[in-house]
Homo-oligomer: A and B are copies of this chain.
Amino acid sequence: MNDRIWTAAIIVIGDEILSGRTQDRNIAQIAKWLNVQGIRLREVRVVADDEGAIIEAVNHLRVRYDYLFTTGGIGPTHDDITVDAIAKALGVPVIVHPEARQILEDYYVGRGGLNAMRLRMARVPEGASLIPNRFSGAPGIRHGSIFIMAGVPNITAGMLDALTGSLEGGAPVLSLQIGCWVGESEIASILAETEKDHQGCQIGSYPFFREGRTGCNFVVRSTDEAGLKSCVDDLSQRLGAVGFPAIAGGI
């Protein structure tokens, strides 16, 4: 078994996230997709549409993790500066990718043709390959370990589909959830003790208020299926023993 842990970071690029106008949905969807590829998301940064901020984040994160994803800033408008900033970070020129140009030319037939602003979406850092986008023509961009994705979540979803299975990863992190009608502070010591007794398992605790009641879901994570199941069984047993029967799958 290969024990190497593969890691990733995300840079979310966009004033609209920092202003609160737009609720980000890419972090969660990329995170879930990475789990399935056996890659662990370790860090996310949200930065403004600012060249200096993007360059700093790219250069910090690309050497620290196996993969780096960016979202946002690859459209046709004046504030779409992601490609230029990443090219500067990498020290390579920006070129018009011939295949991307062809894709856009084909896409804009009957849609007004390829104008100068639209052609911006064919620009890539030199050395890049393309990530197909079945929704709107303009492709995503891969440069080595860096994946440059769209800001619009359903376009990024399509790009992730296109990448599925193409990235090297390790053992996927498996998880199981159980839930109890209990305040987490009542059983916090049980969580700590159970986690300590099950090496390789992490227990997360997610309290909520619902239907006027206090409850808590517990997510156990491990790369080892048998160890995961044993930890969940043990946790359920310990919670039941103090009067809080656990509900499989969570509440």
What is the total number of copies of this protein in its complex? 2
Residue pair A192, B78 in contact (C-beta under 8 Å): yes
Q: Is A134 located at the chain interface by the 8 A CB criterion? A: no
Within 8 Å CB of A175, what residues of B?
A: 19, 21
* Bound-complex Cα distance A209 to B135 (A): 10
How does the 8 Å CB contact mask read for A145-184 relative to B, with 1 for contact and 0 for none?
A: 0000000101000000000000000000101000000011
Q: Is the CB of B41 within 8 A of A43?
A: no
Q: How many residues does chain A have at the interface if contact means C-beta atoms less than 8 Å apart?
A: 68
Q: Main secondary structure on chain A at its contact with chain B? A: mixed
How many angstroms from the CA of A9 to the CA of B219 in the assembled complex? 29
Task: Kindly identify, within residues 1 to 60 of chain A, every residue whose CB is under 8 Å from any CB belonging to chain B.
Answer: 12, 15-25, 27-35, 40-48, 53
A180 smallest CB distance to B (angstroms): 13
A179-198: CB near B (< 8 Å → 1, else 0) gives: 00001111011011001000
- Cβ-closest chain B residue relative to A29: B20
Quick one: which of B25, B34, B45 contacts A45, CB cutoff 8 A? Answer: B45
